[in-house]
Every structure is written in structure tokens, then in C-alpha cells.
Chains A and B, each alone.
Chain A
């Protein structure tokens, strides 16, 4: 089975800190995604990547950046954390852009910004 591993399950950071969320997948998937999940708002796409060093903005990229230096790793960066970025962050991957593959999600990182 494909595994998507997120480095932290829970994280507490202070306002203004730079925060790194790491995601690693082990099945050579081309595409990787970062979502945030908030009650009543569902899953919202922050950024995605379809190849190494490539990145595309999703629906809510403001306040975030990403890095994909290796195929298996996709990092989400909060340049200066704010309280409105308190959320559950979910990383996902899929095999390719042929639209026949479901996404595999990691277990999520619950980030609290105080």
C-alpha cells in the first residue's frame, strides 16, 4: 500500500514563527497536494505539485509556500504563522494526472498557532 507520512501529528507554534510541515510518500507518485481542513469549510487546496521543483497555487495559497526538491517529499511552509492558520493540514499524493487515480492522504498534522 502507498504510504503518505506527515512528520508531526500535533504541532503548537507561536504567532510569527516560520513553520515547516513535511510530507513523504513512498510509491513514486508524481502528484502531491497540501489541503487544510476546517469544520464547515471542508477540504481546501493550498498548493499542489505535479513534478519535482514544480508547484501550482490552489484555492487558498496566501500565507503559504511549498517546496518539492525530491519527488517523494513535499513541504508546506508557513512564512509567519498566524492564529487563522490554526487548522488540520492534510498532505495527499496521486500517481499521475491521468484522472483515474484516487488520492492517498496522510494522517494529518493538527497545527495550533498561539
Chain B
């Protein structure tokens, strides 16, 4: 079945450094979604990308969807302690697919 791989599993950064997490799918995706889960919290939807090569920004967060629609990345510029949490990507494999497949997430720690 469809697999979504996410790397790295863990990332420790100094506050102010940049951070990137990468997501790769074994199949072409119709869309990719990103979620953030704060420690002790639940996943919260951040954004969805649909078009090949799409780039979207939310303040210091930049999301990209690959040209082949099989990979995606989330880049955070100048991390802050409020960025701490686990970032998940998730994708639908195509039309008629009911199932959103989640990556295992990247856990971000920010050292003040």
C-alpha cells in the first residue's frame, strides 16, 4: 500500500536556526497536508498543497510540493521555542482515495 516516509525523525536546533523536514511518498499524491502536534497535544492542520511545484508560506513556514507530486518539504526560518512539536505530513493517493496516509513525523526541539 501507499507509504509516506518522513525524515529526519528527530531534529534539535538552536533557537534562531533554520529547520527542514522532508516527506516522500511511494506513490503519486493528489495532495499533501501538514500538521503540527505540540507536546501533550493533538495534531492541528496547518496547510494543504495540491498543485505540482506549489509553494505556500505561512509567516516563517514555507511548504513545497514536488514537481512529481511525490515529495514535499516544510522549512521553518529562524526557529522559535513556540515551534517545538512534531510535524506530520499526510497525503491522499488519488481520486476516490478515502485514506489519508500519515508520515511518522519529525520531532523538533528548540534549544533557547
**Chain A contacts to B: CB under 8 angstroms:** 31, 40-43, 45, 48, 50, 56, 58-59, 90, 92, 97, 99-108
Name the residue on A nearest B34 (C-beta). Answer: A102
Quote the shortest CB–CB distance from A11 to chain B (angstroms).
Answer: 16
User: On chain B, which size bracket covers the interface?
Assistant: 20 to 34
Can you list 9 pairs linking A and B with CB atoms under 8 Å apart?
A43-B88, A43-B102, A45-B100, A59-B1, A99-B92, A99-B97, A103-B33, A103-B100, A104-B45
Residues of B bordering A, CB below 8 Å: 1, 30-31, 33, 35, 41-48, 50, 88, 92, 97-100, 102-105
The minimal Cβ–Cβ distance linking B42 to chain A, given in whole angstroms, is: 4
* A58 in contact with B100 given A99-B31, A108-B42 (CB within 8 Å): no
Q: Which residue of chain A lies nearest to B92 when distances are taken between CB atoms in the complex? A: A99
Q: State A89–B86 Cα separation when bound (angstroms).
A: 17
